[in-house]
Structure 1
Amino acid sequence: MKRIPTPQFWRRLPLARQLLLAVNSFLLILVATFLVVDHRLRIRREVQQTRIALAEEAKTLYESAVAIDDSGSDAVQKLVDSVCARMNSQDSPGHHIALRWQGQNLQAQSHGRASSDMFDAMMAAATGNPNSMPMAESMVVGSFDGPAGRVYVSEKRSNILAVAREALFRQMIAVLLGGVIAAALVSLVIRQIVTKPMRRMEASLQRIGSGDLNAHVDVHSCRELAYLGEQINEMRAKLDAVEQDRRVHMEKAKSIQQNLRPKSQALEGVQVAELFEPADDVGGDYYDVIQLSDGSTLLCVADVSGHGVPAAMAATLLKSFVTDAAKLSNRPAEILDHVNRKYYEYVVMGHFATMVLVRVDSLRRQVVYANAGHELPFIQSGDGPVERLEHSDLILGVEDSTTYEDHSVNVCEGTKIVIVSDGVTEAFNPSEDQFGTGRVESVVSVGSGDDAKSLVRRFASELHQFREGRAAFDDTTLLVAQVG
């Protein structure tokens, strides 16, 4: 069976209004059908009653005419005129009397409707064949037949219809008032049984949808809604249990990731400070500070695409890859080569990552770096201008055969190296403005006299003021190293 489509406007209506319209529409159709049928039956009944009354009147006239028949046809004519005039003026406008009396056709002359056509029409209506003459269809005729003749009394059908219409109008007014009262009562009942419970249920669902798993549905207006409320409460309880379980696991994951952060240690010739704020409980940014075998310090910042648990797992793998590679080589490029091969082998395609490695050799006053598509590090020597370590190669995880290159920069005591993730440069405020590299350079320049920890605190304050309370959409990682 083909499904009949539901109009769009109907689906947008609240349930209570749909019920009210459906019930009232059904009642309206039912009442309209009743009124039409009753109106037709009323007309038929009124016509039949009028015909009987007219027949009784014809019988009375016949008996009166017989009583005065000895006085001649003029006396009968006078009687007919008198009765017809009285009826037309008082009770029944359109009343007409005709007789077939002693071989003569007599009609009331007082109202001017007497004619041979009128007589023929009355005869046709009295015999039950009104269709034979158009005029006969507009009248109701009662008759009485006796030895002396036949009496016909007619009434306009329009008078009967007028009475029926007036009765119909009164009936419609009564039905309308009754319908208004019934609609109000139905609306009140629907409001108590359906509307209010549904609104409470809707409010509870909205609270659950927004994360409030303490919301409870308390609906007992009918069995169906009570059952639906119980199911929603069961769903809420299950979601709450799942959420509690998720929170426990996320707390454990967060603790594990925090434990993977580099431990505070005294580094020879280098002061290091960091800012790490995951966008979720765990993040896809990874940073590390590793003391190499030759006494130099390796700074590492990486950013896995996306955030949350998958990105955090990939970041954990990166840490293990970097730690292993740093035991085999002191060169950033060779470390990146090793990390890229491992990352390509173990991580699902599409979860790309960027990484920058900066080796700080405070004895030789030299910085050697290799970059796999990460944000270019910032460097400032003393009070000099802020510059960028501009060389960069392909991101991790695209090709296992990628070869990275080292680039070196000579530095002096007090030189600062600032490495950020795109969660810093791409931080947004409520006006959709980006923090950008220009602001990073400005903060570094203004804080040229700060040590590493003070500069990190300055960045944290600047980012907080810039966001104006807007939540970070990406992990925020910043690593500052100061030579000497």
Structure 2
Amino acid sequence: MPDLTLHHSENQHPRMSLRTKLLALINVVLVGSLVLGLAADYRHGLSTRLEDKRVSLNEEAALLLPAIQRLQEHGADAVQQFIDQACARMQSTTSPGHHIAVDIEGRTLQAQIHHRASSQFIEVMRRSTDNQRDHVAIGGHTLVVGADHEDHVHVYVSEFTSNILTEARHGLLARAAGGILLGLALAAVINLVLLRLVTRPVSRLVKTVRRIGHGELGLGTSRFSTAELDELAREISAMSRSLADNDQRRRLQMRKARNIQQHLLPDTERLKQFGIFYSHGPAEEVGGDFFDAQIGNPDRLLICLGDVTGHGVPAAMGAAMLKALFDHSAQQYNTPGDMIHHMNQRFCDITLDGDFASLAVLMLDRTTCQLTYVSAGHEPGYVLHGDGRITKLGATEILLGVVDHIEGAEQTVSLEPGDRIVLLTDGLVETMNAGKQLFGRDTLVQILRDHDQASSEELIHILADKADAHRGACPVLDDVTLVVVLV
């Protein structure tokens, strides 16, 4: 009988590997450091270049000042011609926006050759000098200004900062490229180190643990170069050995439990002498199906077939308990109804809440060919009549363990010599294939019709083989017990 316990599963979300997390963290730190470093370097480099240019322009102004002082004796035209010639010699590619202006005793002269002369331009140059600023803006351009003066003569020299900004940006790009290459090289080295020291060892450990989980108990793993992983490997190996030892003890205990359960079943060869044939196949080492037959004389048979919920040891304990209850009830009561009534009361008294069992008790009187039975929620049985008819033996009561009192309602079926009674547990009809399709009762009935001439023993083998063929490579999910009784 299937386990009625509900199971809940958690969704497994893909997780990032340790190596990926470490690389991501390292790369974030590297990129952040690179960005901050480049920003600071760019600001420092730009400030240095602007200061160098201002010093250079101051030196140029200092060189022009003596010449202008001498030329002022020859008049303003001579000074104008001189500053125009000086400005013309400066190339726009190397000194963009180069401009010279002179204040001589209240009169202002500006180089005219590049058509930059304006009152706004000279005012900006004066302001920059007065405020000691590295650069000032005018007309969408940024200027850096140098100056020198003596007596009443002031010389101003300026240039656009476009070349300086371009050089600073080129330097930034070069350093960024270098930083990226260095970061890639560092990431590659770290990746190789992590691959060697973390990823591969952890993958080996994961494979070992997975193999242990798949049943290779006792499997160990080799040593590692790092202390932490080596300690983990030793613990995994120790765990594997411990699991192997425990599994060996469990197997010995389960083998003994299986032998005990087999011993509780009636003797196959003896039952054959009375026309009773059966097969018992637990889904695990032990199971929850229970079968017994008591023969007072060859003409009076008492048969009991039960199925406890669940599988394995708990179900086997329930089946053993049903065996004891059946033996006691058969000695105390004379009818299947009274027997199952008593068995249900005792079952409710000694089992846990939520433990249930299906049970069918049948009494066959061969002298009268009368079958009296009670079915407490058990899988239907069938009568194969000699004329080819099939009669279904349905349930007459609810499962054992649901309520502590059941009436034990009986059904009586008239049979003929040569008829056969087929009993089974639900593990047969609930056999499932890879497509989740059940073997089903309709298939069972059709097989009974198609093989109604087979012997009782052959019929059991045919049903078992058909169920195995239907299941294919899928695992056995429930215990299967088959019984055929010749009337």
Normalised to the residue count of structure 2, the TM-score between the two structures is 0.88
Alignment check: 8 A CA contact 1:296 1:362 kept: yes
Per-residue CA deviation, residues 80-122 of structure 1 (Å, 9 max, x unaligned), is 2211110145631211112233554332222222233322322
1:310-360 CA-to-partner distances (Å, cap 9, x unmatched) read 111011011111112222344322322332232222222321111112222
What displacement does 1:466 show?
A: 2.0
- SS at 2:97's partner residue? coil
1:366 pairs with 2:363: no
Counterpart contact for 1:272–1:453, Cα < 8 Å: no
Distance change (3 Å), C-alpha of 1:414 and 1:144 = same
Q: Does 1:431 align with 2:398?
A: no
Contact 1:293/1:330, CA 8 A, preserved across alignment: no
Supply the distance in 1 between the matched residues of 2:59 and 2:271 (Cα, whole angstroms): 130
Equivalent runs, 1:325-344 vs 2, <5 Å: 325-344=329-348
- What is residue 464 of structure 2 aligned with on the other side? 460
Counterpart of 2:198? Answer: 194
Contact 1:368/1:407 (<8 A) preserved: yes
Q: Which amino acid aligns with 2:111?
A: A
**Which residue among 258, 262, 279 is the counterpart of 2:262?**
258
Please give the alpha-carbon distance, in whole angstroms, between the structure 2 residues aligned to 1:68 and 1:408: 143
Distance 2:71 2:105 in 1: 13
Say whether residues 1:31 and 2:34 are aligned partners.
yes
Q: Which residue of 1 aligns with 2:280?
A: 276
User: Which letter does structure 2 place at the counterpart of 1:251?
Assistant: R
Structure 1's 238 and 475: CA in aligned 2 closer, same or farther, altered over 3 A?
same
List per-residue Cα deviations over 1:167-189 (Å, max 9, x = no partner).
22222222223233233223222
Task: Confirm or deny that 1:153 pairs with 2:157.
Answer: yes
Equivalent position of 1:234 in the other structure: 238
> Could you say which residue in structure 1 is the equivalent of 2:3?
none
Indicate how the Cα distance of structure 1 residues 450 and 270 shifts in structure 2: closer, same or farther if over 3 A, else same: farther
Runs of 4+ residues deviating >6 angstroms? none
Please show how residues 349-364 of structure 1 align to structure 2 within 5 Å.
Answer: 349-364=353-368
CA offset at residue 395 of structure 1? 2.5
1:114 alignment partner AA: A
Counterpart residue number, 1:4:
none
* Match 2:212 to one of 208, 224, 235: 208
Structure-2 residue corresponding to 1:175: 179
Aligned to 2:451: 447
Q: 1:306 to 1:69 in 2, by over 3 A?
A: same
3-state SS, counterpart of residue 144 of structure 2: strand
Which residue of the other structure, out of 45, 48, 68, is the alignment partner of 2:48? 45
Q: Deviations over 1:138-183 (max 9, x none)?
A: 3222222224623221122333222222222222222223233233
Q: C-alpha displacement at 1:251, in angstroms?
A: 1.4
Given that residues 134 and 145 in structure 2 are in contact (C-alpha distance below 8 angstroms), is that contact kept between their aligned partners in structure 1?
no
Residues 83/274 of structure 1: CA separation in 2 closer, same or farther (3 Å cut): same
Pick from 57, 76, 80 the counterpart of residue 77 of structure 1.
80
Supply the distance in 1 between the matched residues of 2:308 and 2:14 (Cα, whole angstroms).
45
Task: Give the structure 2 partner of residue 5 of structure 1.
Answer: none
Mean alpha-carbon deviation: is it higher for 45-54 or for 361-370? 361-370
In 2, Cα distance between equivalents of 1:273 and 1:90: 110
Say yes or no: does 1:13 pair with 2:16: yes
Give the corresponding residue for 2:480. Answer: 476
Q: 1:108 aligns with which of 102, 106, 111?
A: 111
Farther off after superposition, 186-195 or 36-45:
186-195
| Offset of residue 33 of structure 1 | 0.9
Which has the higher mean CA deviation after the structures are superposed, 199-208 or 243-252?
199-208
Cα distance in structure 1, aligned partners of 2:271 and 2:226: 73
In the TM superposition, what are the counterparts of 1:353-432 in structure 2 within 5 Å? 353-390=357-394, 392-432=396-436
> 1:144·1:152 contact (CA, 8 Å) conserved in 2?
yes
- Cα separation, partners in 2 of 1:15 and 1:32, compared to 1, 3 Å: same
Q: Distance in 1 between matches of 2:106 and 2:342?
A: 136
Residues 256-335 of structure 1 mapped to structure 2, 5 A cutoff: 256-266=260-270, 270-292=274-296, 296-335=300-339
Query: CA 1:291 to 1:43, structure 2 compared with 1: closer, same or farther past 3 Å?
Result: same
Amino acid at match of 1:416: R
> Contact 1:269–1:362 (CA<8 Å) still a contact in 2?
no
Is contact 1:88-1:94 (8 Å) kept? Answer: no
- 2-side partners of 1:290 and 1:186: how far apart? 77
Give the conservation status (yes or no) of the 8 Å contact 1:418–1:479. Answer: yes
Alignment of 1:87-126 (within 5 A): 87-89=90-92, 91-101=94-104, 104-126=107-129
CA–CA distance in structure 1, aligned partners of residues 91 and 272 of structure 2: 130
- Asked whether the 8 Å contact 1:292–1:330 carries over to 2, the reply is no
User: What RMSD in Å do the two structures reach over aligned CA positions?
Assistant: 2.8
Matches of 1:349 and 1:338, distance apart in 2: 18
Identity of aligned residues (%): 33
Q: State the TM-score, normalized to the length of structure 1.
A: 0.89
146, 154, 166: which one aligns with 1:142? 146
Residues 121 and 130 in structure 1, CA contact (< 8 A), matched pair in contact too: no
Distance 1:335 1:278 in 2: 26
Q: Deviations over 1:6-60 (max 9, x none)?
A: xxxx983322222212111111111111111111111111111111111111121
For structure 1, the 5+ residue unaligned runs are 1-9
Q: Any conservation in 1 of the 2:278–2:481 contact (CA below 8 Å)?
A: yes
**After the TM superposition, which of the residue ranges 27-36 and 13-22 deviates more from structure 2?**
13-22
Task: Give the CA deviation at 1:261.
Answer: 1.0
Instruction: Single out whichever of 44-53 and 117-126 deviates more from structure 2.
Output: 117-126
- 1:292 is paired with a residue of what secondary structure? strand
SS at match of 1:98: strand
> Which stretch of the first structure deviates more once superposed, 123-132 or 230-239?
123-132
Closer, same or farther: CA 81–383 of 1 in aligned 2, 3 Å: same
Contact 2:278–2:484 under 8 Å retained in 1:
yes
Instruction: Give the aligned residue type for 2:121.
Output: M
Letter matched to residue 100 of structure 2: I
Q: Aligned-pair distance for 1:462?
A: 1.6
Aligned partners of 1:184, 1:464: CA distance in 2, in Å? 56
Q: Which amino acid is 2:26 matched to?
A: V
Kept in 2: contact 1:197–1:219 (CA 8 A): no
CA 1:55/1:130 → structure 2, altered by over 3 Å: closer, same or farther? closer
